[in-house]
């Protein structure tokens, strides 16, 4: 299986070339979105034909990663060795800003470990992304009843982790440019505590890919915004995980402040 990285850190090279099509598009989102949609449609076709497996998922994520770089995106990723430190499956807990992390995490995480996402029910029913997401056997939440969502995460999450599949969760209810600690729930640490696996905290700043007014996934591309991702040391959860969840929130806040991000 192809892997994006072999070292602990990654920075997009300063001389990384821009795609001719992106240059001709005069810094609009036209070239980027046309290429992105073509990748999604290809993946949807493979998923509907039953051919979209882990390797295909990783490869399509790498394709999007390289597309972002070819359109001026500059990644700065730290702590990749922490993904490999946890010998078994883990729960990845991250803040959520944009479509970007959803698209590139598979190329980073699933290239190292079998993995899936915790997602909203609307995503598995989406006309374009639905077939793709369903093929990855995600944990699906209604986001209407927090008690029911907890039981779904603990039940299916335990099943997946016991079978060797890591779980990626965004504890915020939706994508937010400004990080709001009170919106960052403890589902991830509760799952890890219940399944007796480690948590890997992730802090990201991905406002390179903005949210659209009508279609969130097709928002503006901000080429001046660097893309930051840091994977923290694996954490073992003790008790209910309250202290660890506070540590994860502090981890996200400290990195966002370092990167010039917004914190409520």
Q: What is the pLDDT of residues 1-56, one digit of tens each?
A: 788 888 999 999 999 999 999 999 998 999 999 999 999 999 999 999 999 999 99
Q: Could you tell me if 218 and 67 are in contact, meaning their C-beta atoms sit under 8 angstroms apart?
A: no
Determine the pLDDT at residue 143: 67
Residue 106 has pLDDT above 80, yes or no: yes
pLDDT, tens digit (0-9, with 9 covering 90-100), for 196-215:
999 999 999 999 999 877 67
Of the ranges 4-13, 23-32, 71-80, 171-180, which one carries the lowest mean pLDDT score?
171-180
Task: State residue 79's pLDDT score.
Answer: 97
Mean pLDDT computed over every residue of the chain: 94
Residue pair 109/204 in contact (Cβ under 8 Å)? The answer is no
Average pLDDT estimate for 252-261: 97
What gap in Å lies between CA 108 and CA 58, rounded to an integer?
8
Domains (range + CATH), the chain: 10-263 (3.40.1130)
Check whether 218 has a pLDDT greater than 90: no
Kindly give the interhelix angle for 242-259 and 187-195, rounded to the nearest 10 degrees.
130
Statement: the pTM of the whole predicted model exceeds 0.75: yes
Q: How far apart are CA 231 and CA 82, in angstroms?
A: 6
The percent of residues above 70 in pLDDT, for the chain, comes to 99
Write the CB contacts of 10 (distance below 8 Å, at least 6 apart in sequence).
Answer: 4, 75, 76, 77, 80
So what's the pLDDT on residue 37? Answer: 95
Which of 227, 208, 246, 216 lies closest to 93, judged by CA?
A: 246
Question: Given a cut of 80, is residue 139 above it in pLDDT?
Answer: yes
pLDDT of residue 67 exceeding 80, the answer is yes
Q: How far apart are CA 170 and CA 102, in angstroms?
A: 10
State the pLDDT confidence band at 238, using cuts at 50, 70 and 90.
Answer: confident
**Which two structure tokens, joined as six digits, stand for 31?**
């070239």
Q: How confident is the model at residue 76 (pLDDT cuts 50, 70, 90)?
A: very high
Confidence of residue 147 (pLDDT cuts 50, 70, 90): confident
Looking at residue 144, its pLDDT comes to: 72
Confidence (pLDDT) at 4: 84
* pLDDT level of residue 128 (50, 70, 90 thresholds): confident
Q: Could you tell me which residues come within 8 angstroms of residue 222 by beta carbon, excluding any fewer than 6 positions away? A: 207, 208, 209, 210
Mean pLDDT in residue range 170-174 = 87
Band the pLDDT of 236: cuts 50, 70, 90: very high
């Amino acid at each position: 299986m192809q892997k994006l990285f072999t070292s602990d850190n990654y920075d997009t090279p300063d001389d990384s070339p821009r795609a001719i099509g992106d240059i001709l598009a005069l810094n609009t989102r036209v070239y980027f979105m046309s290429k992105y949609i073509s990748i999604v449609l290809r993946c949807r076709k493979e998923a509907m034909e039953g051919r979209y497996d882990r390797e295909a998922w990783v490869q399509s994520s790498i394709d999007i990663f390289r597309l972002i770089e070819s359109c001026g995106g500059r990644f700065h990723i730290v702590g990749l060795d922490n993904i490999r430190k946890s010998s078994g499956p883990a729960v990845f807990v991250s803040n959520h800003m944009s479509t970007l992390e959803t698209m590139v995490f598979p190329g980073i995480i699933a290239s190292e470990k079998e993995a899936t996402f915790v997602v909203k029910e609307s995503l598995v029913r989406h006309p374009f992304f639905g077939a793709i997401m369903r093929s990855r056997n995600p944990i699906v939440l209604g986001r209407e009843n927090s008690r029911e969502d907890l039981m779904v995460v603990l039940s299916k999450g335990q099943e997946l982790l016991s079978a060797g599949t890591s779980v990626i969760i965004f504890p915020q209810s939706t994508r937010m440019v400004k990080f709001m600690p009170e919106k960052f729930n403890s589902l991830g640490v509760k799952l890890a505590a219940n399944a007796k696996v480690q948590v890997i905290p992730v802090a990201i700043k991905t406002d390179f890919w903005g949210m659209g007014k009508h279609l969130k996934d097709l928002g503006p591309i901000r080429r001046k915004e660097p893309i930051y991702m840091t994977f923290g040391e694996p954490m073992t959860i003790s008790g209910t995980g309250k202290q660890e969840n506070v540590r994860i929130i502090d981890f996200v806040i400290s990195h966002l402040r370092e990167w010039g991000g917004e914190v409520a």
